[in-house]
A and B are shown apart, each in its own frame.
Chain A
Amino acid sequence: MSNTNEMVVEFSSVAQNESFARMVVAAFITGTNPTLEEVSDVKTAVSEAVTNSIIHGYENMDGMVRIKASVTDRKVYIEITDYGKGIEDVEKAMEPMYTTKPGEERSGMGFSFMEAFMDKLEVLSTYGEGTVVKMWKEIGAGRHPFE
């Protein structure tokens, strides 16, 4: 029997669901016995990715956001997918402080926070089709975002 535990959840792209999304993932990874700080790191990263899907992927229009997560021992994998407009230039989007919506008081720190709080981040996007954000974190590895 595999020791991998998986979950998939899909929900409407509305801002109220941002808290639902991070709660679900936080609850799912409880079995890895994370510290409060690790839970908080994962919640922030999930919140950033889901917020991006809602604001940028769907530009506040109707759509679905999908989260797939898996846990193997203490290794957490999270995949957040939207079927929205996609990112034209992923490299540019990932630059700190870069935002396509400066007038809306967006900080441009979303991807930077995901990178800082997780061990590894991958962003795949097809313009016009959607975006997939993949994130990995090993719980208990002791890596600190400041290091």
Chain B
Amino acid sequence: MKYYEVENGIMIYYLPCELDHYAAENIKKKSEAVFADDNVKYLIFDFEKTNFMDSSGIGLITGRFRRVHDKGGKVYVINVSDSIDKLLYMSGIYRIVNKCDTKDDIMRELVEGGYYE
């Protein structure tokens, strides 16, 4: 199973079916070395496979947000289902994280915003 992918400073997390404390710790452990790389500035959390999440998922995203925000980065979520959207909305995370439909939309936004060439 592929947990993440990094390309040109953009890191995509492919989140699991169930994003709980156990899964979140696993993701952090598996991706820490790559995530800690200074070049990683933009994060995309892909919820395509995710049908369950608790507040551990919120902790994962906000913790990672803090670290890329310091280097002027941005955080996105994609493929968010209604039930996941409810949790993200309730947590207030949309104040700091942008929701997009697809990865292409994010690429367009980054290029148009002059963040990325």
Contact = CB atoms under 8 A, between A and B. Distances in A.
A47 B52 CA distance: 10
Interface of B: 18, 20-22, 24-25, 28, 52-56, 58-60, 62-64, 83, 86-87, 90-91
A-side interface size class:
20 to 34
Contacts of A110: 54-55
A113 B54 contact: yes
Contacts, number: 69
A55 B55 CA distance: 13
Contact of A51 (B18, B56, B58, B83): B56
Interface of B: prevailing SS: helix
Contact of B59 (A22, A40, A106): A106
Interface centre among A16, A43, A107 (most CB of B within 10 A): A107
A44 B87 contact: yes
Contact of A145 (B21, B53, B55, B86): B86
Nearest to B24: A105
